[in-house]
Structure 1
Amino acid sequence: MTEVVVEAREKADLSKLEMLIKRANELKTNIEALARAIESKYSADPRLESVVKNLLKTMQPPEPPSDQLLSVSNSLEKYVSALEFGVKTLTTYAVTLDELYEDLEKLEREVAELVVWEELLRNLAPHLASEASRLASRAQRLLSQPPLDEPKRALDEVETSLKEVRSHNRVCRTVYTNRLNELLSTVSQLAKTLKRASKVQTPTDAGRLFAHDEALRKLEEKLEEASQRPLEVKLDLVAVKRELESIEREISELAESALSAEESSLARELERVARTLDTRAVSFMSLVESLSRRSGLPLEKVCYLIYLLEKRGFVALEVRVKV
C-alpha cells in the first residue's frame, strides 16, 4: 500500500514538473519574441537605439535551474515566476516604448515649430524668444539622448517637455498674431490718412502718394499671408513696423503740408481721440471742450476748424441728434 502511495506521489510530482517545464519554455519563447519585436521595431531609431539596447541587456531571461535541481519543483516554480515577471515587465516596456516613440515624434514636430518662433520673436519679444531657446535646447537633448535607465522615466521626461513646448508655442503664436493684427490695423489707418492726403495733393506729391499706396498694399498682402501661414512666411514684424513708421511720417508730412499749424495740431488731436474712443460715442460738447483744452484754442475756433477739416476730408464725424 505504501509503495502505491509513493508511486502516485512520484507521478504527480513528475506531472507537475512537466507542466512547469512546458510553462517555462512558453514563457521563455514569449520573452525572446517580445525582445525581437522591440529590437526590430525601435533599435534602428537613433532616438531610441540606446534605450532599447540598455533595456534588452537588463531584461535577459533568467537562467534555468541546474540539472541536479530539476527534480525539485520549488526551483522550477521560482524559475517560472521569474519568467512570468519578465514577460509582464517586457510587455509593459513594449507599450511604454510605443508611447515614447509617438511622443518623440510629436516633440520633434513641436520643437521644429518652437525654433521658428524663437527666430520670429527674437526682436519682437526677446523674453519669449529666450524661453523658447531654453525649452528647445532641453527638448533636443531628450530627442538625441533619452534617459537610458528606464523607459518609463524617459516617457515621463518627454511628456513633460512636450507639454512645456506646446504651451510655449501657443503663447508665441498668440503674441505674434496680436502684433501682426496691430500692424494690419496700422496699415488700415494709414490707408485712410493717405486717402485724406490725396484730396489736397499737389502734382508734385502725386507720385509719392502713389508709391506709399503701393507700399501699403504690398505690406498688407504680406501681413495677411503671414497671418495664415506664420511659420512658413516667417515675416519679420519689427522690420514691417519700422517701414510703416517711415511711411506714416511721410504721409503725415504730406497731409500736414496742406494744413495750417492750428489745423494740423487739431487733426492730430482728433486722430488721438479717435484711437482712444475706438467705436464708442462721445458728446459733441465733450469733444469740443476736450480739444479746446488740449490745443489751447477757443471753443468757437475748435468748432470752425473741425468743420474745415471734415469739409476737406481730413476727418469724418458721425453725428446722432437726440432730443
Structure 2
Amino acid sequence: MEATTAAQTTLTKKEQPRDKRRVLRFMWKYKALYLLSLPGILYFLIFKYIPLMGSVIAFQNYNLFAGFSGSPWVGLEHFTRMFSHYDFLNILKNTLLLGIYDITFAFTAPIILALLLNEVRMVLYKKVVQTVIYAPHFLSWVIVSGIFIGVLSPSSGVANTMLGWFGLGPIYFLGEDSYIRSVLVGSGLWRDVGWGTIIYLAALASINPDLYEAAEMDGAGRWRQMLSITLPALLPVITILFLLKMGDFLDYGFERVFVFQNPLNIRNSEILDTYIYKAGLTQMQYSYATAIGLFKSVVGLFLLAIANTLSKKATGESLY
C-alpha cells in the first residue's frame, strides 16, 4: 500500500512539469490574445485591486502625514459611528429604494425595448431609432440635469406647461421630496435605456432564423415566437447582467444624484455615495468615509453571492 502511494506521488510530481509546459505552450500559441488583454488586466490591477489595500484605513484614524503605518488603530469605531449616525437609516433607505427602482425599471426597460426593436422590419427606421436612443448616453450628468431642470421648471418647463393645459397648477418637481426619486430614476432611464439594448440586440442577432421559420410553419404567431424562442435565448444574457447589477446594488452613482440635489429634496435624495463624498472630501473624514465604502462593498458581495446561488439552482446560469 505504501509502495503504491509512493508511486502515485512520483507520477504526480512528474506530471506537474508536463502540465506547466503545456500551459506555457498554450499561452505562447495565443500570445496575441494575451497581449490584447494586457491593458485590461493592468487597468483592473492598478485601479481596482491595488487600491483595495487602502481599505485598511477604515480601521484606523487615518492621518495624511503619518500614512498607513503611523496612523493609530481604532478597530470598528468608525462602523459603530456609521450605524449610530442619526440619519444613517434614512440614507440607507434612500439607497435601497433607488436600487430597487433602478432594477425594476432601468434594468427591464432595455430588455423590452430590444424586443420591440427586434420586431421592426424597416431597417432604416430601426437604425434611426437606435441612433436616437443611444445618443443621450454620451451626455454627462451635468448636461442631463440641466435638460431635466429646464423641462421640469415650475415657470417655463414643458412638463408644467402641459399640466396647465389641464387646469393644474405648477409643480416644483425638484423642490419636493415626493418627486425627487422619480426624477432620478426617470433621468437615468432616459439617458441609458438605449445603451442598455446593445448587448440584448447582439444576443438577438445570434438566434438561428431557422427556429423562427420552423415555428411559423407550425402556426406560431409573433407573440408565441417571442415567448418560446426569443426570451429563452436571451435568458443567459439577462441572468449574467442581473447578477452583475446585484453586485453594484448600492452603487447608484454619485454624480447622477448630486447634480439634482438641493436643500429642499435632500431628505429623499441623500444616498451613501453622496454622503461618502461629503464626509470624506468636504469634511476630510477619510477613515469614516472608507468604512462606509467598505460596508457597501461587503453588502454588494453578499447580495451577489445569494443571487448567484439562486440563479445557479433556478436557471443553471451563474458567474462562477
TM-score, normalization: structure 2? Answer: 0.21
Larger Rg: 1
The TM-score, its normalising length taken from structure 1, stands at 0.21
Higher RCO structure, 1 or 2 (CA under 8 Å, sep 6+): 2
